């Protein structure tokens, strides 16, 4: 009996069930973990309580980003609503978008009024936003050399004049450890971007499909944005992590 064979027969929403379980249980520490597996076998964990943290407990980079929301906001990959709920509670106008119905359920239980189930490609063309959020390292949703520019172009079409993207990401070249250096090199040999992480999330018996999640250097990010209308207007670095504001040129 191998784990892989059994797991691939399940397609339930590991990520949403993790957040829903953690929320329903009253956010106990040391009980719900985001367990993330990379396709070289590298595995990592993170206490899911962190996805519910309030602004006072956020890392500095998140607080930096939070001050940069303007107008009507689309939170892409809203998760448990860590940014969306306090922004709405402070009088802001924000829509939480996610492909996971369970995460949107969590957001609504936490009081978020506007949610959208789907990807940015599913958002009606008549809908417009002033700010697009790619937080919690969700610049990773740029996925790949092909998908990144397409996602940015979609956001440009949904943008009001003067719109911005506020995102956080990770510079893969600043990751510590031979295991990461080797992974990056292997990606390049396979024609992928260095920081194109192939991941899946696991929770209890559930597992997501494999997906690409992209870590880029800032020059790589600028290169992905070329021709999409967006350009990097502001940068905030914290070790290998960074925050950026992109604006329409």
* Residue 62 touching a copy of itself (CB under 8 A): no
Contacting residue, 33, 58, 64, 173, with a copy of itself by CB under 8 A:
33
Among residues 45, 55, 162, 227, the one that binds a copy of itself under rule CB under 8 A:
45
Q: Which of 75, 195, 203, 224 binds a copy of itself (CB under 8 A)?
A: 203
Name residue 237's beta-bridge partners.
Answer: 242
* Residue 82 makes contact with a copy of itself by CB under 8 A: no
Q: Please give the Cα distance from 98 to 101 (Å, whole number).
A: 7
Least spacing, CB of residue 140 vs a copy of itself, in Å: 19
State the nearest-atom distance from the C-beta of 231 to a copy of itself, in Å: 34
User: Which neighbouring-strand residues pair with 34?
Assistant: 46
Q: How far apart are CA 69 and CA 190, in angstroms?
A: 38
Phi, psi of 66 (to 5 degrees): -60, -30
**Distances 115 to 75, 112, 136 between C-alpha atoms, Å:** 9, 7, 18
State yes or no: residue 42 binds a copy of itself (CB under 8 A): yes
Q: Does 25 bind a copy of itself (CB under 8 A)?
A: no
Pick from 24, 25, 28, 39: which binds a copy of itself (CB under 8 A)? Answer: 39
Whether the CB-CB separation of 141 and 77 falls below 8 Å is answered with yes
Q: Which span sits near a copy of itself by CB under 8 A: 61-69, 200-208, 224-232, 233-241?
A: 200-208
Q: Give, to the nearest 10 degrees, the angle between helix 14-24 and helix 101-109.
A: 20
Please report, in angstroms and rounded to a whole number, the separation of the first and last CA atoms in the chain: 55
Residues within the interface to a copy of itself (CB under 8 A): 1-4, 6-7, 10, 29-30, 33, 35, 37, 39-47, 50, 179, 202-205, 207
């Amino acid at each position: 009996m191998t784990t892989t064979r059994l797991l691939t027969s399940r397609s339930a929403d590991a990520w949403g069930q993790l957040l829903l379980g953690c929320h329903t249980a009253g956010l106990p520490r040391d009980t719900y973990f985001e367990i993330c597996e990379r396709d070289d076998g590298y595995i990592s964990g993170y206490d899911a309580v962190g996805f519910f943290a309030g602004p006072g407990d956020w890392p500095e980079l998140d607080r930096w980003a939070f001050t940069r929301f303007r107008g009507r906001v689309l939170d892409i990959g809203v998760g448990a609503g860590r940014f969306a709920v306090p922004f709405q509670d402070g009088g802001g106008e924000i829509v939480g978008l996610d492909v996971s119905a369970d995460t949107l359920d969590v957001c609504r239980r936490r009081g978020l009024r506007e949610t959208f189930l789907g990807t940015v490609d599913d958002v009606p063309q008549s809908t417009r936003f002033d700010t697009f959020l790619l937080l919690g390292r969700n610049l990773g949703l740029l996925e790949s050399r092909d998908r990144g520019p397409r996602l940015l172009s979609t956001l440009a079409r949904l943008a009001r004049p003067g719109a911005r993207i506020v995102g956080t990401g990770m510079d893969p070249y600043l990751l510590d450890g031979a295991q990461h250096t080797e992974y990056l090199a292997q990606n390049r040999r396979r024609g992928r971007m260095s920081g194109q992480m192939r991941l899946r999330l696991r929770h209890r018996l559930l597992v997501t499909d494999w997906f690409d999640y992209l870590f880029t250097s800032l020059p790589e990010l600028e290169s992905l944005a070329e021709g999409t209308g967006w350009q990097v207007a502001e940068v905030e670095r914290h070790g290998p992590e960074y925050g950026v504001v992109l604006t329409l040129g």
